[in-house]
Structure 1
């Protein structure tokens, strides 16, 4: 029988996941999809800060108190997160979870928070205050009230792990789409590359580019849905963990990288760093590209991207 794609859509990690595998029949395909789902659920248990029993919650509970012994997997994820923080000058920071939620994007805000409130909101944020002890596999958050969260990297990490597991089980081709974080491998049954559409947030029904993607990840981070306007300036829900102020100027960032975890983290970081700094940083990273759409609708791309506009 000819191979064909089988797809399942479900809610995992509080997000919509679409898992597609290419297989010879639905029985084989469903078995593989079940494997991917089990792996994503396992990771959610490990990294969820909502689950009181997770190792992440244990780290947060012991902030300012004592180091917590964690699994090598979580230890390495935190170590890689710190590296990305260093790479982005703190624009990406898993201790963003320590931020007081003073910005509301549900229509209830009538005025901007005061400068004092904003400064106070990020007082406990700072990746420099995560202490890792590799020998004992422990993680310690220096200040009471500090918290870590994997909101900007967790879905990508889970997609990478599920993809690696499916490849190890002999699945030659597929896509894991974690609500916009696309992770692909292999080719379509007709031998063509998988293609992803990039839409223009200014006009959601319009696709401006179709890009072939081989064995890599593409993450689009958009903030055109959640924002507030004050004094004619648009503030979006992606907040700079260093300052407590929302990012502005960019409405969509698409990052191409070998792994979804990195693409995920960098997409958020580019928003925070802004167009010039973000682009400059991406251009220095081998194998990573990005497309930025600013709030005027201008499209800027990193130096090695070639695409045909539709």
Structure 2
């Protein structure tokens, strides 16, 4: 079978089109935010309005980063981490609900997704410098402080408490999707009728392109990216992809992904990429990581139980597998 990889392909027309005698234009900006590549695209009456909308989106992403960043010592997240094992920390309603949703995803994925993964000691390196695998003891010690059940939430006081000193939470596996959703919501509230937010592969859309056509994503062959395996329309929907294309470890002929199972401390194996389709980018982001960790069969079974969510998995042999709601022939 040819080598296939899930790649997000967004074809955006940058010209003006007549639509009900009104000219609409597509305006796009690519920039680095939250330490990663963001693409903000809006459909607007003219370029000036489009760029104003994009600046509003940038401001919203920057605001979210200041709230959830564990690198900013003044962020709410850093305050939670600093007070681990000491005292509960009162946080904004917005952050409280994000952590609450993250804990629920941890429960349905049996801990495969866990924001307390940030407590993990870095015993694995994916820069080509490792000449031996970590010992069993090192690995066990590295995950000793991880556990979503140790994140205590008090809804009445709106506080978050990490039970053990040295615990940390991080939003690396959900934060980009959260930011994409919040930016989309803000722009819709500002009257932007259509657009696309792409947070380094965590993508959400609303409305249609300036032509009136649906936004499309493609499953393509990375060795021949002009040949699309299958097109999938996304309407008022989102998609997120987790993959091991760039960061992985080769040791004694075995490939280890940079995505580590927080329950065992070992890198995942057997999957090359996972793409999740759902209404919200936040959920897509979290579940893409979880399915990567759970594995192909168990992961697809899990997604088949969640209404409104679908998955495409490319396994270690570059074969494509999908949940029941994805309709295309993967034997092409």
Fold equivalence (TM over 0.5): yes
- Shift in Å at residue 191 of structure 1? 1.4
TM-score when normalising by structure 2: 0.91
TM-score when normalising by structure 1: 0.97
- Shift in Å at residue 307 of structure 1? 3.0
Aligned partner of 1:245 in structure 2 is 266
Distance 1:202 1:109 in 2: 29
Question: Which shows bigger deviation, 221-230 or 47-56?
Answer: 221-230
Question: Which shows bigger deviation, 68-77 or 226-235?
Answer: 226-235
1:177 is the counterpart of 2:198? yes
* Aligned 8 A contact 1:201 1:251 in 2: no
Match among 16, 20, 31 for residue 52 of structure 2: 31
* Aligned 8 A contact 1:75 1:139 in 2: yes
Q: Which runs of 5+ in 1 are unaligned?
A: none
Aligned partner of 1:199 in structure 2 is 220
Question: Which shows bigger deviation, 262-271 or 224-233?
Answer: 224-233
Aligned partner of 2:127 in structure 1 is 106
Aligned partner of 1:286 in structure 2 is 307
- Shift in Å at residue 161 of structure 1? 0.4
Q: Which runs of 5+ in 2 are unaligned?
A: 1-21
* Aligned 8 A contact 1:199 1:209 in 2: yes
Secondary structure of the 1:128 match is: helix
- Shift in Å at residue 209 of structure 1? 2.3
The root-mean-square deviation of aligned C-alpha atoms, in Å, is 1.3
Distance 2:74 2:226 in 1: 42
- Shift in Å at residue 112 of structure 1? 0.5
- Shift in Å at residue 47 of structure 1? 0.2
Q: Deviations 1:220-263 (Å, cap 9, x if unpaired)?
A: 11112111122322111000000000000000101001100000
Q: Deviations 1:192-211 (Å, cap 9, x if unpaired)?
A: 10001223457666542221
Q: Deviations 1:9-29 (Å, cap 9, x if unpaired)?
A: 111000100000001111100
Distance 1:202 1:239 in 2: 27
Compared CA separation, residues 143 and 43, structure 1 to 2 (3 A): same
Match among 246, 259, 262 for residue 280 of structure 2: 259
* Aligned 8 A contact 1:210 1:308 in 2: no
> Aligned pairs, how many?
310
Aligned partner of 2:255 in structure 1 is 234
Aligned partner of 2:72 in structure 1 is 51
